[in-house]
Amino acid sequence: MTTTTEPTLTTVEQIFHEGRSARAWSTQPVDDALVRRVYDTVRWGPTLMNTSPLRLLLVRSPEARERLVSHMAEGNRERVRSAPLAVVVAADADFHEHLDALVPHVPGARDRFADEATRARIAREQAWLQAGYLVVGLRSEGLDVGPMSGMDAAGIDADLLGGTAWHSLMVLNLGYPAAEEAAFPRAPRLEFDAAAAVA
């Protein structure tokens, strides 16, 4: 282990038992620096061949926020508008361009991803995996995270991610906990025996 801080049971409790999909936040702002710090940690989570296709757009300006709101499903709009920070989580279909640096131990790694359709699929799969790490990392910093994919992803891509090969997967609304619990009553999860088998 090379971690500087040992995870504690409290951290695990905070992330998985206490952490909810937030629907309201306090007015305390969320700095870019905090998101940067979380990214700097979660980027070390494993991906296929270290492809690392996760990309983030921090939607900071009121003008960009309104554009993002306009692409959200009706029932999601007010939360995207009111969250202290909204982040578009995306997959970079041109992730192969970074592979000379990211995969120095496999010469010519980028050539393995020459096929566009395969690359698009791997970008989505691996960025989703990294998105999970990101949610966990953000929660471990005490942030309340509200994930949403009820949106016109193609509209977001054209409007906010134009000129890139980034494809939006979901929006994360971020903030600090609201005074009042706003989440729905907790829904159950599958028991181990329903979700796992031993062969």
Ligand X SMILES: Cc1cc2nc3c(=O)[nH]c(=O)nc-3n(C[C@H](O)[C@H](O)[C@H](O)COP(=O)(O)O)c2cc1C
Query: Collapsing DSSP states into helix, strand and coil, what is residue 173?
Result: strand
Binding flag, residue 177, ligand X (CB under 6 A): no
Binding flag, residue 190, ligand X (CB under 6 A): no
Cα angle 161, 163, 165; round to 5: 70
Select 19 or 103, whichever has its Cβ closest to ligand X. 19
Residue 10 beta carbon to ligand X: minimum distance, rounded to whole angstroms: 18
Q: Looking at the DSSP assignment, which residues form a beta bridge with residue 25?
A: 177
Residue 112 burial (10 A CB sphere; 0-12, 13-18, 19+): middle
Binding flag, residue 86, ligand X (CB under 6 A): no
Binding flag, residue 106, ligand X (CB under 6 A): no
Select 75 or 163, whichever has its Cβ closest to ligand X. 75
Contact 26, 179 (CB under 8 A): yes
How many chain residues touch ligand X (CB under 6 A)?
11
Residues that bind ligand X (CB under 6 A): 20-21, 76, 147-150, 170, 183, 186-187
